[in-house]
Amino acid sequence: MKRTILTYLANTSIRRKLMLLIMLTCGLVLMATTLIFVVKEANDIISTQRKDLASLADILGKNVASSVTFNDPQSALDTMLSLTVKTDIIAAYVLKTDATIFSRYIASNVKPKDLPFEQLDRNSSPADYQKILDQIQLNSNPLFQLSERFSMVAPIQLDGQTIGTIVLFADMHELKSRLLSTILSAILVLSLAAGAAYLLSVRMQTIISLPILDLLNTMRLVSETKDFSLRADKPGSDEIGQLYDGFNEMLQEIEERNLVLRQRQEHLQELAHFDTLTRLPNRVLFHDRLQQAMNLALRSEQLIAVIFLDLDRFKDINDTLGHRTGDLLLQQVASRMELVLRDCDTVARLGGDEFTIFAQNIRSQHYACRMAQKLLDLFEIPYSLDGQQVFITCSIGITLFPDDGDTIDTLLMNADIAMYHAKADGKNAYRLYNKEMNQQASERVALQADLRKALDLHQLHLMYQPKFDAQTGGMIGVEALIRWQHPERGLIPPARFIPLAEESGAIQAITEWVLRTACKQAKIWYETSSFPISVAVNLSAYSLKRNNAPIMVQHALKETGLPAHLLELELTESMLIENDQHAEETLNDLKQLGITIAIDDFGTGYSSLSYLHRFPIDALKIDRSFVWNMNRSDSDLAIVVAIIAMAHSLKLKVVAEGVETKAQLAALQKSGCEIIQGYLLGRPTTAEDITIQLKRMAS
């Protein structure tokens, strides 16, 4: 029961609770007040009746005293007959001192048998009368006054002597009806007061419940709308007001936390979709946007151009000018690209120096090419990086959706392949993707995979092409030339696989192997032949850039024991120009080891010859294109003569490569060229064959 009440109270509304509280309090107070009032009123009525009866008994006692003295019952009755006017008196008895009846008065409307003395008969003794009198006296105690009759017993005295007793019986009906009307009035007042209390409680409870309900409504609104900027209007500064303050402070805190969370989410969103360096969309966002554009283009039958842009020689900038400058360059490239692209185009940075662009609603291939040209033009103006003017170019590949592919991966791969072709064709160019490129690309990927295993599988070997003294005709050295004997594809020339090795990084291991093998072979010739010949090894641009060429050479010399002056390194002009400062340091380090350095393919690359006296160079190898044409073109002859003269003035030796005819040999000899290399005097051959030639020279 108690639990049910407690559960009801816990679950009932605060309005009802407050009303119950007020009603209960008011009800208890009213009931207690009414009860006190009724009890007091009843007591007043009874005590008034008692007093009245006591004084009536006293008067009657005095009036009948003489009648008792003179033993005149009739006179006593006459006196008592005056009671007929008092309707509430139903009987009066004058008793003698032994309690027997001296005289009696019984109202006409009363049955005598209902009165206690009348139940005695003639044979009753005075003791019986005394017993009834005692009983009446006992019942006249106020506690028993609410019975049918009310009685009063008083002594009859004369000169201080008790000569008898007077007993009065009064009817209680009138008294009871007075009491009843008092109780009814009290109940009426109680009901009215309860009604008033109810009405009052309905209004009073709102003082507490309304602000709480308002707060509850605001809470619900906040919870439904998730609008934490809402505030509850504080009704006052009592405890409920403080509750409002607490609630509003909590909302304020949630709002501030939400703001921080939103900012963090936006930041994360930004990180997830934008490149932090350039602020361009990243791969994820690019994919997303391109997919949407592809869906739209399919419905509207439009073309999309997907462009892959890669900076040429960006790694050199990073290596020589530092990563900070590289980052600056990427930022500036990104800004320039955004300037030339339309709002509906997207440019993204995939990472490193690779950018992708897609342009929607392309009318034709021609339009995509114009766009690529615009991008190439962006690189004509030098970039100003930390006060330095830097020239850089880029290579671009273009592919079209849906003509060339229908998935993002295919399109990006195609654009990458086309870009690779632009690079392979000399860089600073754009190429449109075609299906043949794909085949070449897959072949390239397959070759690269095979190349990684070629060394371990002993598929690589060296050939040696002899170099001859132009005047004596004696062999003075050899150039080590790598060959790849592919198990399925046959002999693969270095011109085909060296660029792949450079691209994949495999060139590092290959160069180490070539150096070691060539030095080892040269050491054998050095020890076995009476003619000391040098060995020339081609150094790739990659090895020069990696700055580990001096260490590699030092290891090879140490490992094989070849005297350093018998090792020559051949480098191309472009390798030196592109790396300038860095190349100068590396060449100086190499030179310190005691080796010689030759510039390969001289005359094809750069017009500036200033680098010649800055670098520690020993020889120039005139490019075979000049040698081939020197007997047919005066200008080529003039170039060859000029190169030889310049080299001599710089105290450099001159090697002529690609000498195929006697006429070329004669012209070179006449021009003062010291060393001859070419098919005329010796093709690339095996080490054994060189050994035989050396032996032949000795005999």
**Contacting residues toward ligand LFPHGCPZ, per CB under 6 A:** 465, 479, 481-482, 493-495, 498, 514, 538, 540, 570, 600-601, 657-660, 677-679, 684
Bridge pairing between strands 490-492 and 534-538: unpaired
Query: Rounded distance, CA 18 to CA 1, Å?
Result: 21
Cβ proximity to ligand LFPHGCPZ, 306 vs 518, nearer residue:
518
Of 144 and 679, CB closest to ligand LFPHGCPZ = 679
Rounded CA gap, 657 and 640, in Å? 12
CB atoms within 10 A of CB 331: 17
**Is the Cβ of residue 347 or residue 599 nearer to ligand LFPHGCPZ in the bound state?**
599
Minimum distance, C-beta of residue 682 to ligand LFPHGCPZ, in the bound complex (Å): 8
State the Cα–Cα distance between residues 146 and 106, nearest whole angstrom. Answer: 21
Shortest Cβ distance from residue 558 to ligand LFPHGCPZ (Å)? 20
DSSP 30-98: HHHHHHHHHHHHHHHHHHHHHHHHHHHHHHHHHHHHHHHHTT-HHHHHHHHHGGGG-TTEEEEEEE-TT
Cβ closest to ligand LFPHGCPZ, residue 392 vs residue 659? 659
Q: In this structure, what are the phi and psi dihedrals at residue 616, rounded to the nearest 5 degrees?
A: -80, 75
As measured in angstroms, the least distance from the Cβ of 647 to ligand LFPHGCPZ is: 16
Q: Length of the chain in residues, anyone?
A: 699
The nearest distance, CB 679 to ligand LFPHGCPZ, in angstroms, is 4
Q: Which stretch of DSSP H or E encloses residue 517?
A: helix 507-528
Question: Closer CB to ligand LFPHGCPZ, residue 65 or residue 447?
Answer: 447
Residue closer to ligand LFPHGCPZ, measured from CB, 26 or 681 = 681
Separation of alpha carbons 511 and 480, rounded Å:
11
Computed over its alpha carbons, how large is the radius of gyration of the chain? 65
User: How far apart are CB 603 and ligand LFPHGCPZ at their closest, in Å?
Assistant: 12
CB nearer to ligand LFPHGCPZ: pick between 345 and 570: 570
Distance CA 612, CA 610 (A): 5
Closest CB 517 distance from ligand LFPHGCPZ, rounded Å: 9
3-state secondary structure of 125: coil
State the distance between the two ends of the chain, measured CA to CA, in whole angstroms. Answer: 130
Burial class (CB in 10 A: 0-12, 13-18, 19+), 572: buried
Nearest distance in Å: CB 329, ligand LFPHGCPZ: 28
3-state secondary structure of 498: helix
Q: Compute the least distance from the CB of residue 699 to ligand LFPHGCPZ, in Å.
A: 27
d(CA 230, CA 259): 15
Give the shortest CB-482-to-ligand LFPHGCPZ separation in angstroms.
4
- What's the token pair of residue 204? 């009073």
CB nearer to ligand LFPHGCPZ: pick between 282 and 511: 511
Question: Which residue do the tokens 């007091």 mark?
Answer: 40
Q: How far is the CB of 629 from ligand LFPHGCPZ (least distance, A)?
A: 13
Residue that is written with structure tokens 């030796």 in the block:
653
CA 538/CA 684 separation, integer angstroms: 14
Helix (H, G, I), strand (E, B) or coil at 115: coil
Q: Check: CB of residue 543 under 8 Å from CB of residue 552.
A: yes
β partners of residue 492: 484
Report, in Å, the least distance between residue 454 CB and ligand LFPHGCPZ: 13
- CA 442, 448, 454, 456 dihedral sign is negative
User: Which residues, in sequence order, are bridge partners of residue 570?
Assistant: 538, 598
Nearest approach in angstroms of CB 678 to ligand LFPHGCPZ is: 3
Considering only CA atoms, which of 441, 284, 415 is closest in space to residue 359? 415
Q: Does residue 483 contact residue 496 with C-beta atoms inside 8 Å?
A: no
* Contact between residue 314 and residue 378 where contact means Cβ atoms under 8 Å apart: no
Which is nearer to ligand LFPHGCPZ, 89 or 482 (by Cβ)?
A: 482
Based on CB atoms, which residue is closest to ligand LFPHGCPZ, 5 or 495?
A: 495
Which residues face 171 on adjacent strands? 149
Nearer to ligand LFPHGCPZ, 600 or 674 (CB): 600
Per-residue tokens: 249? 């402070």
Determine the Cα–Cα distance for residues 583 and 574; give it in Å rounded to an integer.
Answer: 11
Tell me how far, at minimum, the Cβ of 545 lies from ligand LFPHGCPZ, in Å. 13
Distance between CA atoms of 163 and 566, rounded to whole angstroms? 174
Name, in order, each residue with C-beta under 8 angstroms of 339's C-beta and a sequence gap of 6 or more: none
Q: What angle do CA 505, 509, 514 make, to 5 degrees?
A: 125
Nearer to ligand LFPHGCPZ, 362 or 514 (CB): 514
d(CA 226, CA 246): 18
Question: Does an H or E element contain 289, and which?
Answer: helix 283-300
Q: Which of 242, 230, 235 is nearest to 214 (CA)?
A: 235
Q: Which of 435, 662 has the CB closer to ligand LFPHGCPZ?
A: 662
Q: Quick one: 89 or 655, whose CB is closer to ligand LFPHGCPZ? A: 655
- 605/684 with CB nearer ligand LFPHGCPZ: 684
Closest CB to ligand LFPHGCPZ among residues 500, 694: 500
Torsion of the alpha carbons at 538, 540, 545 and 548, rounded to the nearest 10: -60
